Amino acid sequence: MEVLVFGAGSLGSLLGGLLARAHDVTLVGREPHVSAVQADGLRITGAETLETRPAATTDATGASADLALVTVKAYDTEAAGRALATGDYGAVCSLQNGMGNEDVLADAVRAPVLAGTVTYGAGLVDPGHVEWRGRGTITLGAWRPADDVAAAERVAAALRAADLNVTTTVDVRRRLWEKLAVNAAINPVTALARVGNGALTEEPLAGLARTAAVETAGVARATGVAISDETAADAAATVVRETARNRSSMLQDVTRGRRTEIDAINGYVVDRAAATDRAAPVNRTLAALIGGWERGAGVGPSGDE
């Protein structure tokens, strides 16, 4: 299968490198990472050590593939959609953080759109070198059309052929809301407190994270997605325990002075709460604090990244 990975950062590079063991893969990323991969291939260390040689480019205009995996930051989804709209794809699958990405892609491309959640851990060490920080799972489901089970199964089979741990679901919207509750709980709290995930096992941060997750579950229910408060809170607590030594992606962004995905995580919860006449004060506060930091650092939507 021909696979284009749009967004060759840490996760995109890891997945692309693993997929290159069984498929023809092209990474779409930025310099100097792309040039390093072109020259010497992609080196993966950590959970396994291997070297693969996917193709790499900075420009996907007019490209085509059986599958496009989208792994860009949520604020780059519109740009990704515009680029993908110039090409031809059998399916487009978002493996991104936050909510709203799939609708943006569905509005831009003519191919079936899938949504997915990923728990593989990755970090970009140097250009051409990604660290595999934890084995995980990928869960896929059809987004548009919502009943296109065949497309999800076809993509899952291709990923399994490269020894990735993949399952499919007909309830991908609920899975995404559950993941959103986890991200809403962990990402901004760790970023604001400048702590690793494990710090959220103790008060006062544990209670703050739990409230953010429970608020998110309430908003999900208001939009017609059935997630209990306990399910959301337990999911967040489980991820905190299992990733206690990790630093959240939002903490990494803040530490590096980069724009975060707050608008697609807690900001999305706040927007959907307003649309359904619900209150989400903790999510609103977390979103405002991170947004204020972004503006002060000059990396927000109107800043220069």
How many angstroms separate the CA atoms of 40 and 32, rounded? 12
24: DSSP letter: E
User: Rg of the Cα trace of the chain?
Assistant: 18
CB 25 within 8 A of CB 112: no
248: DSSP letter: -
**Residue 45, C-beta contacts closer than 8 angstroms, at least 6 positions apart:** 125, 129, 130, 131, 132
**Residue 91, C-beta contacts closer than 8 angstroms, at least 6 positions apart:** 66, 67, 68, 111, 112, 113, 114, 151, 154, 155
The tokens for 258 are 């980069």
Catalytic residue among 133, 179, 210, 259: 179
Active site residue 179: yes
Q: Catalytic positions, please?
A: 179
